[in-house]
Amino acid sequence: MERITFPLFALLAALPFYIPSLWFLSFFAFIPLLVNRSLRAHLWFGFVYGAALYWFLVKAIFLITGSLFLTVFLFAVIVSLYSLLQFGLSNLLTRLGLFYPLSFTIVEVFRLFFPFNGTPYGYLGKVLVNAPLLGLSLHYATVFGGTLFILTANYLLYKAIERWEIEGKRYLAALGGLIFAFLLPAAVYKATLKIPSYGLQIAIVQPFVEQIDKLRNGEFVKLYTERWLLTVPPSVDLVLLPETAIPAPEEGAIYDFVKSFSQFNLIFGVQSLLFDFERLSLEARNLVVYARKGKIAGVYAKTILVPFGEYTPKGFHFLERFIPYLGGIDYSPGEGETLFEVGKGVKLLPKVCNEVFYPLWGSKALKEADAVAVLSNDAWFGGNFARRHLDEVRLRAIETGKVFIFVNNNGYSGVVLPNGEYRGIPDAIVQLISF
């Protein structure tokens, strides 16, 4: 039965990441892990759960490798490592005497830092952003508290079933108390929250450019993006374009683009390739550029890079023999945060793509910022990753109490309010939004 039951429950556990209305499945989908505590059972559950959760990576791996065999092999390796780390290590900590929900949550925190720059993807607590009212508890509990809450609910429900005739009602009462403990601060946050209004009208352009074109035909990408910019009314206060919207390896290309659209205040993502005369080497960076009426007013360089996507970690350069993409120029990280003053007294904190997967608690710039703009390009990934990325933005908006602007290449761009509410049109190429 284990071979059937565990994969079935693992798929149920992953479904809320794909279908938001099924968030409640998480409250019982992990019960098999409490019934069977063997390492093998946990790893098997984790592998199926991880494969379902990380399915979006298949497209990205194939784009990088160009090989179906390598895609299947590397995806299996990634999922296996995830299962070993998240479920294997959690199982080990539980055997050492830790409460399983706590051990699982500790491993999620650990994944903020390991491996490479951290792997904070697929955190369980994130599904709560789709739970009416309950999701607002994440403002105080954070995503980690959400994970602990969900798994503790699994534990109490399991105990209520296991000991129904003796203490079942007591465990159900404890479960009710736990839910109330999370609903109360959520209600307080909702009652005290004031949604800010800055009087800004912004235009978001999400051109839906395929990643294969971004990799092979940069001039087409630039011209196609410019074509949609021409449809934006010049009266808007700010126009935002997604990550790598303008491939610009040629010297002066960024300046030419800014001058061509000097009627706008622009924020756009761009790839920058410069020669460092001190190190006698090329330096690549993933930039966010803010241009005010034809003049560059601010630049942010992405600080948290994606391993194997934007750089090859030390010790893995041997893979370049099998995957030529990894032999390209490594991106260099930026040195810190910056704020863009975008008019009407509004200060905007720029972030790029995966940087929103990391908590913003230690951000000094966030305290001064009125809003956060996340520029992304999810054309790398398959499935419904764009919608899942939006959920990450909604999570951070609730946690921080800030307005977030999600600017994506292929869907679900829009504005997210501090209560997690999304304002936007998922499939519109050009959106006009006031906030």
Per the CB < 8 A criterion, the answer to whether 283 and 313 are in contact is no
Per the CB < 8 A criterion, the answer to whether 372 and 348 are in contact is yes
Q: Omega into 7 within 30° of 0, i.e. cis?
A: no
Helix ranges (DSSP H) in 217-368 = 218-229, 253-260, 364-368
Q: Taking 90 as the threshold, does the pLDDT of residue 352 lie above it?
A: yes
Per the CB < 8 A criterion, the answer to whether 265 and 291 are in contact is yes
Percent of the chain whose pLDDT exceeds 70: 98
| Domain range summary for the chain, segments of one domain joined by + | 2-192, 201-434
282-305: average pLDDT: 94
Q: What is the structure's pLDDT at 70?
A: 96
262-269: average pLDDT: 96
Per-residue pLDDT band at 94 (split at 50, 70, 90) = very high
pLDDT tens per residue across span 317-346: 999 999 999 988 899 999 999 999 998 889
Q: Taking 90 as the threshold, does the pLDDT of residue 80 lie above it?
A: yes
Q: What is the DSSP letter of 333?
A: P
Q: What is the structure's pLDDT at 382?
A: 82
Q: What is the structure's pLDDT at 131?
A: 97
Q: Taking 70 as the threshold, does the pLDDT of residue 251 lie above it?
A: no
| SS3 per residue for 340-353 | EECCCCCEEEEEEH
Q: What is the structure's pLDDT at 273?
A: 80
129-136: average pLDDT: 97
- The structure tokens 């009627």 sit at 263
Q: What is the structure's pLDDT at 344?
A: 86
CA distances from 50 to 47, 54, 114 (A): 5, 6, 17
243/193 Cα distance (integer angstroms) = 31
The DSSP code sequence of 148-189 is HHHHHHHHHHHHHHHTHHHHHHHHHHHHHHHHHHHHHHHHHH
55/77 Cα distance (integer angstroms) = 13
Task: Report the relative pairing of strands 340-341 and 295-301 from DSSP bridges.
Answer: unpaired
Q: What is the structure's pLDDT at 1?
A: 58
396/80 Cα distance (integer angstroms) = 28
pLDDT tens per residue across span 56-79: 999 999 999 999 999 999 999 999
Assigned token pair, 234: 């010049």
Average the pLDDT over each of 116-125, 227-236, 250-259 and give the range with the smallest value. 250-259
Nearest 5 degrees, angle CA 116-CA 119-CA 125? 160
Q: Taking 70 as the threshold, does the pLDDT of residue 17 lie above it?
A: yes
Q: Taking 80 as the threshold, does the pLDDT of residue 248 lie above it?
A: no
User: Is pLDDT larger for residue 363 or for residue 382?
Assistant: 363
422-427: average pLDDT: 96
Q: Taking 90 as the threshold, does the pLDDT of residue 18 lie above it?
A: yes
Q: What is the structure's pLDDT at 168?
A: 84
Q: Taking 80 as the threshold, does the pLDDT of residue 249 lie above it?
A: no
Q: What is the structure's pLDDT at 276?
A: 67
Assigned token pair, 149: 């809450």
297-313: average pLDDT: 95
225-248: average pLDDT: 93
Q: Taking 80 as the threshold, does the pLDDT of residue 3 lie above it?
A: no
Q: Taking 90 as the threshold, does the pLDDT of residue 85 lie above it?
A: yes
| CATH superfamily of domain region 201-434 | Carbon-nitrogen hydrolase (3.60.110.10)
Q: What is the structure's pLDDT at 26?
A: 97
Q: Taking 90 as the threshold, does the pLDDT of residue 383 lie above it?
A: no
Q: What is the structure's pLDDT at 28?
A: 96
Q: What is the DSSP letter of 15?
A: G
Q: What is the structure's pLDDT at 275?
A: 66
Choose among 223, 263, 262: nearest CA to 246.
223
Per-residue pLDDT band at 361 (split at 50, 70, 90) = confident
pLDDT tens per residue across span 104-121: 999 999 999 999 989 999
pLDDT tens per residue across span 159-209: 999 988 788 899 999 999 999 999 999 999 999 999 999 999 999 999 999
Choose among 178, 131, 124, 101: nearest CA to 24.
131
Per the CB < 8 A criterion, the answer to whether 27 and 151 are in contact is no
**Residue 393, helix vs strand vs coil:** helix
Per the CB < 8 A criterion, the answer to whether 203 and 238 are in contact is yes
Assigned token pair, 391: 């959920």
57/34 Cα distance (integer angstroms) = 29
Q: What is the structure's pLDDT at 280?
A: 64
Mean pLDDT of the chain: 94
Q: What is the structure's pLDDT at 174?
A: 96
